[in-house]
Amino acid sequence: MTIRQVEAIPISYQEPTDHNRFRSVCLVKISDDEGRAGWGECCTYFPEASLAARHLVDGFADRLVGRSPLETETIWLELRDHAWWYGTDAGIAAMAISGIDIALWDLKGKQLGTRVVDLLGGPVRDKLPAIASLHGTKADIGAMAEEIAAHTATGLHGAKVGFGKRGEAHLGFDHDRDIDFARRVVDAMGPGKSLMIDLGVKNFWDVPTAIQRARAFEELGVAWLEEPLGHDDPEGYAALRAATSIRIAYGERSWSPRDVERIVATGTVDVVGLDPGRVLGITGFVKSADICARSRRQANAHNFSTAIVGAASQALSFACAACYLLELQPVYGPAQKDLVDRPVWHDDGYVRLPEGPGLGIAVNEDLVAASRLDA
């Protein structure tokens, strides 16, 4: 039961949750000599990064063929060592290793007939609340509040809304509009639902702006404020932390457990975003989430990619004690709903437990072939 083939498959798809923007990832398929396949994903986002990841995965392939996929830790360590000159725990190298590592865990589970969540120690909780992951969509705030409340009315425990996105929502740029938005969404969702606000790369807040918004959002009961000062501003975050007690979220741009250790050590992050397609795979996610758990920080899977990262995020969020909820995209998107036979979803607001060996998914290879970036 050794590895026979490693394939890197860059794809591109339209993302309805992100105003139909074309997004790209590099999938990784690792096959064994008995016909099983494990799937992983490099969360590369841009086409040039997906093509670069393909070359790196191709370059790593010779190190994997003939090996046992059970050796996830050994291979993870070895690939990180190999990339020492061009990307020690960073950049496209980290993404390529992430995609390979996820595929290896999936294949390992399939070989052993065991779910990844069980290989990781089993679910640490019976129920994992789900929230909606959304972007601001409309010019009219009342219409946006209604739309968001319709999603949470399905049982979802709240909504995380991306500011600074395409379209006419124009969120994150004007204090009064932002506060009006938050107030009306909280009112529309009703009691027991959480609102999380996630700043986009187009939003630029200086520290006083971040403090002013954070204090106002805190009064409205906003559950957390994500990336209000981007991902790398320890001094700014220290000032924000001193001025408000709203939960501060960032970290999804981390490349490694070491990155996570550094931001946790600043004492300025309460909810640490972790993307298994970027933070060195399932292996890197678990090590990062352990750091969060030890430091009493919440970890939160950045589940905004295809159904493969979705399945990995599902298994990880059930297995890691620092994860308390999982974001799902309630707007129909083929990359989440059609790419696999059993996409992660919820029942009355709670994420379903993974089923079946490995990540518990069968990939729609026709859709993969039709979505190839390099076809």
Could you tell me the smallest distance in angstroms from the CB atom of residue 247 to Mg ion?
A: 14
Could you tell me the smallest distance in angstroms from the CB atom of residue 213 to Mg ion?
A: 16
Could you tell me the smallest distance in angstroms from the CB atom of residue 274 to Mg ion?
A: 11
Provide the CA 132 distance to its chain's centre, in angstroms.
13
Of 147 and 226, CB closest to Mg ion: 226
Of 116 and 195, CB closest to Mg ion: 195
Of 120 and 274, CB closest to Mg ion: 274
Of 94 and 161, CB closest to Mg ion: 161
C-alpha to C-alpha distance for 154 and 302, rounded to whole angstroms: 22
Could you tell me the smallest distance in angstroms from the CB atom of residue 248 to Mg ion?
A: 12
DSSP assigned state of 156: -
Residue 18, interface with Mg ion (CB under 5 A)?
no
Task: State which residue has the least CB distance to Mg ion.
Answer: 198
C-alpha to C-alpha distance for 218 and 220, rounded to whole angstroms: 5
Could you tell me the smallest distance in angstroms from the CB atom of residue 120 to Mg ion?
A: 24
Of 200 and 234, CB closest to Mg ion: 200
C-alpha to C-alpha distance for 45 and 275, rounded to whole angstroms: 12
Of 3 and 301, CB closest to Mg ion: 301
Q: Which residues from 174-233 bind Mg ion, rule CB under 5 A? A: 198, 226
Could you tell me the smallest distance in angstroms from the CB atom of residue 226 to Mg ion?
A: 5
Extended strands (E) in 33-129: 37-45
| Dihedral angle over CA of 342, 107, 283, 114, nearest 10 | 70
- Where do we find the tokens 């959002």? 217
Of 60 and 250, CB closest to Mg ion: 250
Q: Which two tokens stand for residue 194?
A: 């959480």
Q: Which two tokens stand for residue 252?
A: 């999804």
Q: Which two tokens stand for residue 83?
A: 């990339």
Of 268 and 371, CB closest to Mg ion: 268
Provide the CA 341 distance to its chain's centre, in angstroms.
20
**CA nearest neighbour of 11 among 38, 44, 37:** 44
Could you tell me the smallest distance in angstroms from the CB atom of residue 172 to Mg ion?
A: 12
Could you tell me the smallest distance in angstroms from the CB atom of residue 250 to Mg ion?
A: 8
CB atoms within 10 A of CB 200: 16
CA distances from 248 to 6, 191, 244 (A): 39, 22, 9
Could you tell me the smallest distance in angstroms from the CB atom of residue 252 to Mg ion?
A: 5
3-state secondary structure of 220: coil
Number of shown-chain residues binding Mg ion (CB under 5 A): 2
CA distances from 229 to 1, 121, 175, 200, 356 (A): 48, 35, 16, 10, 40
Which residues, other chains included, contact 177 with Cβ-Cβ below 8 Å and sequence gap of 6+? 141, 170, 171
Of 106 and 252, CB closest to Mg ion: 252
Residues making contact with Mg ion (CB under 5 A): 198, 226
